Amino acid sequence: MYSKFFCFLFTGFLVLSCTPAVQENDRVALLEVEGKFLYRDQVEAIIPPNVSTADSLQTAEGYIRKWATDILLYENAKRNVDDKAAIDQLLEDYRKALTIHQYQQKLIQQRLSNEVSEDEVRRFYDQYNDQFIVREPYLKGLLLVVPKGAPTMSDVRIWVRSGNEKSLEKIEKYSMKNALSYQYFFDSWMPYSELQKKIPVQPDDFKGTFIEVSDSARHYLLHIREVRKQGETEPYEIARTRIAEIIQNKLKSEFVSRFEEELYNDAVTNGTITFFNE
């Protein structure tokens, strides 16, 4: 059983071991497996703050078991795996790929700007906007939520339905005294998934510029200034960030390709690469 190997009791960070503690540079060892030591400070570091003693013990025991098992598996694997040369080659290939990647990223940071111009993004969007399709409706508009029994509802409906500048001023003043919530989003797109949290409405309802629904406690009044339905082209404002990332990744790829080609050509020219005749 686990307790036969490790008889710890965690009370806060107090750890009692079944055998005399081993110390190295003021570090207290909790256990040893195949010549490897696990120290108390390593276990303490993985215990989340403000957890109960029982949870601390459970976390510590899981970490200790995993740490010991990993070492046992690795040491057994080393003794029983025959094709060590293949493993060494995989490690070397990984080291080479990782080193090259780190070098490429450093070159990109030094020589390539992170900025993508608005004109570049706009041209890309205009050329490929058929590839940017919304998976849910997006809307611009305003949403006013008032309690049942709110005053002058006939006027409020006219204001929300209109949505002109004078009506917006009246809605804002009215909402300060009477509304449960008021959200103006004429200048930004709201996804349907977010709107649905605020008003019980379905995508099929987006047929006009005004929607009113009610429940037992509230009236919801929605003015739709603009809508993009599911399957239509994604608005530029939403696609812009993703397009900028696409352009930036393309520039990085082209930069790396050019650098590799120049590196190769220079090596051929200066004799770093030597070709042998058959």
Q: What is the pLDDT of residues 65-105, one digit of tens each?
A: 999 999 999 999 988 888 888 989 999 999 999 999 999 99
Question: To the nearest whole percent, how much of the chain has pLDDT over 70?
Answer: 91
Percentage of residues in the chain with pLDDT exceeding 90?
81
Query: pLDDT tens digits, residue range 12-24?
Result: 334 444 555 555 6
pTM as predicted: 0.67
Q: 41 and 92 share a domain?
A: no
Residue 11 has pLDDT above 80, yes or no: no
Does 178 lie in the same domain as 148? yes
Burial tier of 89 (Cβ tally within 10 Å: 0-12, 13-18, 19+): exposed
One domain for residues 32 and 63: yes
pLDDT digit string, tens, across residues 139-196: 999 999 999 999 999 999 999 999 999 999 999 999 999 999 999 999 999 999 999 9
In a shared domain, residues 122 and 252: yes
252 within some domain: yes
Mean pLDDT across the stretch 30-49?
A: 93
In a domain, 55, yes or no: yes
Same domain for 61 and 12, yes or no, is yes
Domain that holds residue 193: 134-228
Mean of the per-residue pLDDT values of the chain: 90
Are 146 and 171 part of one and the same domain?
Answer: yes
Does residue 24 sit within a domain?
Answer: yes
178 belongs to a structural domain? yes
Q: Would you say residue 118 has pLDDT above 90?
A: yes
Give one DSSP letter per residue of the chain, joined into a string.
Answer: -HHHH----EETTEE--SSPPEEETTEEEEEEETTEEEEHHHHHHTSPTT--HHHHHHHHHHHHHHHHHHHHHHHHHHHH---HHHHHHHHHHHHHHHHHHHHHHHHHHHHS-S---HHHHHHHHHHHGGG-B-SS-EEEEEEEEEETT-S-HHHHHHHHHH--HHHHHHHHHHHHHH-SEEEEEEEEEEEHHHHTTTS---GGGTTSSEEEEE-SSEEEEEEEEEEE-TTSBPPHHHHHHHHHHHHHHHHHHHHHHHHHHHHHHHHHHTTSS-----
CA angle 247, 251, 252 (to 5 degrees): 120
**Are both 196 and 240 inside the same structural domain?**
no
pLDDT for 213 beyond 90: yes
Write out pLDDT tens, residues 252-262.
Answer: 999 999 999 99
User: Domain holding 146: CATH number?
Assistant: 3.10.50
Q: Is residue 277 part of a domain?
A: no
pLDDT of 1 higher than 90: no
What is the count of structural domains for the chain? 4
Query: Is 274 among the domain residues?
Result: no
